[in-house]
Chain A
Amino acid sequence: MDKFFSGQFLFVGLLFAGLALYPLFGSSYGLDLVSKIMIYAILAMSLELLVGSTGLVCFGQAAFFGIGAYIAVLFSPESESASLLWLLPASILAAATYALFVGALSLRTKGVYFIMVTLAFAQMAYYVVHDTKLGGGTDGIYLYFKPILGSVIDLNDAKVLYFFTWVFLVWTFVFLAILLRSHFGRVLAGIRINEQRMRASGFSTYPYKLAAFTTSGGIAGLAGFLFAVKDGFVNPEMMSWHLSGALLIMIILGGLGHLRGAIIGAFAFVFLQEFFKSPAIFGDFAKHWQLGLGLTIIACVALLPKGLVGLPEVLRKRLYGSRQPRDAQVVLK
């Protein structure tokens, strides 16, 4: 376990350090892009808690993200900045509350039914803001004054926002890493592998799953808040199933079952998207970026069954031709 942690922390520590230094030389475009990726990484980690850690394939994560974002905008006064001190908790709490509601009902189903029920609840939330007065029609709503914390934190400044997001990225990772090795996290891992055995051992699994679902929703709400504040804008697309699907692709691309996989997946997904969207590289074909992105993702999943997290292992095998699985080596030594 300690070994697992040191390897994970070394890589992620370097990544976080790199991200902290990036504003020293990054352009404003780059800063905005990396902020966006960091927010997606937080969101992807919230989904990883459900899919990779607990085995609950949630297809409605965008709803919690969108609720966090909409609360940030709807609760902000029109002509001045709101205080972070209550606006951020309000976003998280609102998303977590909806997750508690959705989880309480959807966790009574299993497998493909669970996927569809979570999707249905997300679509319900989507249609509350889609083309309605509350959601600002199809255009969405602007946030003219971004939240502040006295004179300490002013999120109207792009660099402050960048570091603010960075802090929450690190916090989310550390929080979830600690959570996953606790009593609670081990029970989630047990539920993922064999829920029946967990019940037979004396765990009432439903409250555990509901707690995980609610926590995940709260973190997704945090990501939504950050996104709304970054763009100064929300629109219904933030709650659409496209985003829920993209998030699933991110964590699969990165490698299910690993927190860092969610971060790597978010980076890979957005970079690939930017790459295939670039007219400088693809000219007119950039219009069809989804084709290139889709084919690349199919290739990745086919060649890297454990996701990008498994890339070093695959390369090592290619280079040294070792056929023995790593686990077996550890055991046999």
Chain B
Amino acid sequence: MAETLLKGSGITQRWGGLVAVNKVSIELERGTVHAVIGTNGAGKSTLINILSGEFPPTEGQIQLLGKDATHWSQAKRARQGLGRSYQRNTIFPDFTVFENCRLAAQAQVQRPWVWWNDAQKCKQSVEAANRALELSGLTEVKERFAGLLSHGQKRQLEIAMCLAIQPEVLLLDEPLAGMGAEETDRMLKLLANLKQGHAILLVEHDMDAVFKIADRITVMVNGSVIASDTPDQIRINPDVQTAYLGGH
């Protein structure tokens, strides 16, 4: 049995009368990609926001690395090993690619009171940034300004910034959005590579990619989970077919 790194139980989010997420339970294990699919408005992004600590859920518990993290701030969850990427790029366009990663890595070695030291000479964060760039294949463009990268590279940088904080769990919100075939392939290779040491939650609309890479798929409709199984089982699940895949 693989090690469970992140566990959400009975997560519910209500916005007034609307139930955006309804009693969702989910487990992320090391060495696996767990994909969450569903139509727009199914509550996937809300779920990812709750797991990463963007806001607290109305109900439910979250365990990170065996500890109760329900009331931890987003920053604390990140420091404890939870990295997330955003659907929209959240890179720092005026910084170099390297500095984007270095600044993220600095979160693991925060020393704001050492005001006289040059942050760019901080060894730990420089090393962590270089490792993250290496892993995500951006070393060649590390001196470029992030705003000048191609769309695919920006998405890679988004992931690299997650890796820079050396997380155990990765929550990836549509990392393939807007990518061409070649860029998608490169990203899938990267994800397959990252799978080894991490537990990955993948929210994605590209079904071919999801079925290619996921070890487990959870299907959400109107905030509820209607199925959670291996890709092969999901493919033949009649509920999923009527609700979402439309006979895919």
**Which residue numbers of A lie inside 8 Å of B, CB to CB?**
1, 178-179, 181-187, 189-190, 193-194, 196-205, 208, 211, 327-328, 331
Interface residues of B in 71-109 (CB under 8 A from A): 73-76, 78-79, 83-84, 86, 90-95, 99, 103-104, 106-108
- Rounded to whole Å, the gap between the CB of A195 and the closest CB of chain B is 10
Residues of A close to B136: CB separation below 8 A: none
Residues of A close to B52: CB separation below 8 A: 200
Residues of B close to A331: CB separation below 8 A: 143-145, 148
A197: which of B94, B118, B148, B161 is its contact (CB, 8 Å)? B161
Closest to B111 in A: A183
> With an 8 A cutoff between CB atoms, is B150 at the interface?
no
> With an 8 A cutoff between CB atoms, is B236 at the interface?
no
Residues of A close to B94: CB separation below 8 A: 193
Let me know if A183 and B106 touch, CB within 8 A: yes
> With an 8 A cutoff between CB atoms, is B116 at the interface?
yes
Closest to A176 in B: B115
Q: Mark B104-136, 1 if CB is under 8 A from A, else 0.
A: 101110111111111110100000000000000
**CA–CA, A185 and B103, complex, Å:** 11
Residues of B close to A1: CB separation below 8 A: 120
A199: which of B74, B91, B99 is its contact (CB, 8 Å)? B74
**CA–CA, A144 and B100, complex, Å:** 54
Let me know if B92 and A187 touch, CB within 8 A: no
> With an 8 A cutoff between CB atoms, is B50 at the interface?
no
**CA–CA, A332 and B181, complex, Å:** 26
A182: which of B108, B115, B143, B148 is its contact (CB, 8 Å)? B115
Closest to A215 in B: B115
Q: SS class of chain A's interface: helix, strand, loop or mixed?
A: helix
Residues of B close to A178: CB separation below 8 A: 115-116
- Rounded to whole Å, the gap between the CB of A103 and the closest CB of chain B is 15
**CA–CA, A104 and B100, complex, Å:** 29
Residues of B close to A186: CB separation below 8 A: 99, 103, 106, 119
**CA–CA, A298 and B161, complex, Å:** 40
Let me know if B145 and A327 touch, CB within 8 A: yes
> With an 8 A cutoff between CB atoms, is B165 at the interface?
yes
Let me know if A205 and B75 touch, CB within 8 A: yes
Let me know if B108 and A327 touch, CB within 8 A: no
Let me know if B120 and A181 touch, CB within 8 A: yes
- Rounded to whole Å, the gap between the CB of A142 and the closest CB of chain B is 38
Let me know if B86 and A182 touch, CB within 8 A: no
**CA–CA, A198 and B54, complex, Å:** 12
Residues of A close to B144: CB separation below 8 A: 331
Let me know if B108 and A202 touch, CB within 8 A: yes
Give 7 pairs: A residue, B residue, CB < 8 Å, sorted on A: A186-B106, A187-B106, A189-B103, A193-B93, A193-B94, A194-B91, A194-B92
Query: Which of B92, B110, B112, B143 has the most A CB atoms < 10 Å from its CB?
Result: B112
A200: which of B78, B112, B148 is its contact (CB, 8 Å)? B78
Given contacts A181-B120, A184-B115, A204-B73, list 8 more A-B pairs with CB under 8 A. A181-B118, A183-B106, A183-B112, A189-B95, A189-B103, A200-B86, A201-B107, A203-B75
A183: which of B78, B84, B122, B143 is its contact (CB, 8 Å)? B122
**CA–CA, A204 and B53, complex, Å:** 12
Residues of A close to B120: CB separation below 8 A: 1, 181
A201: which of B93, B99, B104 is its contact (CB, 8 Å)? B104
Query: Which of A178, A182, A327 has the most B CB atoms < 10 Å from its CB?
Result: A182
Closest to B106 in A: A183
Query: Which of A183, A184, A200, A328 has the most B CB atoms < 10 Å from its CB?
Result: A200
